[in-house]
């Protein structure tokens, strides 16, 4: 099997001023040891207003924490009041950009077509997309989970090369599990993520599917992280609420299986 290093990402959503963000990253960096970074890549995704502060901190203190963003527009520049371009993020040494988070899809009208444009723009600027997919509770209860996530995978990856897809990150985030305290059972998450990997293989081939990293997201906490991260197809976690507090986020990172 291909070696896929887990990626544990903290999606801070609309939380933490730049001053709070600095304190959180400092505390997180004290808690994490070299062996933790050997076991997993760790990214934080602050609000736009904190990106520059965190970039400077990572740079000055040579931290192993990786900078991520939560969103961007797909055009490099233009008359798009309020938007931030992928070019601007790349200039801040952002590595990972989330695309198609369910909150963006549901609250800000991000369609599969928009997600595809964003994924392409993120890649074109030398960054790595974390493309989110997931079903609603109604879709799950109707037995439509696999169809929903496969459709999102197909549409989101449209027009990409196998090489591009192979270097990407996909996050499986069942919408009913986000911020609700209800998480998919590790077995269910594993099964759906295996099916997402199958959908990636259909679009981009088996080699790309073997290297794409697929995270689970939705109420990941210190108490459930180890069991989720131990599943063979689950290559990390996209963590919302529990990533805001370094005392909760550090143990989640440390729950990633030790290699070797
Ligand atoms: P949660 O959020 O961990 O608070 O459920 C996950 C996410 O939205 O990425």
Query: In sequence order, what are the residues at sequence separation of 6 or more whose Cβ sits closer than 8 angstroms to the Cβ of residue 108?
Result: none
Is ligand 1 within 6 A of the CB of residue 174? no
Task: Tell the residue nearest (CA) to atom 1 of ligand 1.
Answer: 240
Give bridge partners of residue 129 from the DSSP assignment.
97
Mean pLDDT over 15-41 rounds to: 98
Residues 6+ apart with CB under 8 A from 193: 172, 214, 216, 231, 233, 234
- Is the CB of residue 224 below 6 angstroms from any atom belonging to ligand 1? no
Query: 101, 175, 240, 242: which to mutate for ligand 1, most atoms within 8 A of CB?
Result: 240
Predicted TM-score (pTM) of this structure? 0.97
- Output the CA 78–ligand 1 centroid distance in Å: 31
Average pLDDT of the residues in 217-221: 96
| Positions marked catalytic | 101, 173
Indicate if the pLDDT at residue 13 is higher than 90: yes
CA–CA dist 218, 115 (Å, integer): 20
pLDDT band at residue 260, thresholds of 50, 70 and 90?
low
Q: What is the pLDDT of residues 75-96, one digit of tens each?
A: 999 999 999 999 999 999 999 9
Q: What is residue 120's predicted lDDT score, i.e. its pLDDT?
A: 98
Domains of the chain as residue ranges with CATH: 12-69 (no CATH), 71-210+230-241 (3.20.20.70)
Ligand 1 nearest atom to the CA of residue 11, by list position: 9
């Amino acid at each position: 099997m291909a070696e896929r290093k887990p990626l544990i990402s903290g999606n801070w959503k609309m939380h933490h001023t730049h001053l709070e963000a600095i304190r959180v990253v400092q505390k997180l960096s004290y808690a994490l040891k070299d062996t933790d970074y050997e076991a997993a890549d760790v990214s934080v995704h602050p609000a736009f207003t904190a990106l520059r502060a965190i970039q400077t901190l990572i740079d000055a203190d040579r931290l192993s924490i990786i900078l991520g963003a939560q969103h961007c527009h797909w055009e490099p520049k233009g008359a798009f009041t309020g938007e931030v371009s992928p070019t601007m993020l790349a200039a801040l040494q952002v590595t990972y950009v989330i695309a198609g988070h369910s909150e963006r899809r549901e609250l800000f009208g991000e369609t599969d077509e928009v997600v595809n444009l964003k994924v392409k723009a993120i890649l074109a600027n030398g960054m790595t997309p974390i493309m989110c997919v997931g079903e609603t509770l109604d879709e799950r209860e109707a037995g439509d989970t696999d169809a929903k996530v496969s459709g999102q995978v197909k549409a989101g990856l449209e027009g990409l090369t196998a090489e591009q897809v192979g270097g990407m990150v996909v996050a499986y985030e069942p919408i009913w599990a986000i911020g609700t305290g209800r998480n998919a059972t590790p077995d269910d998450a594993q099964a759906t993520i295996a099916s997402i990997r199958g959908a990636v293989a259909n679009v981009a081939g088996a080699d790309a599917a073997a290297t794409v990293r697929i995270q689970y997201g939705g109420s990941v906490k210190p108490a459930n992280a180890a069991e989720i991260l131990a599943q063979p197809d689950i290559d990390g976690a996209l963590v919302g609420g529990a990533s805001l507090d370094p005392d909760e986020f550090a143990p989640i990172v440390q729950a990633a299986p030790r290699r070797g």
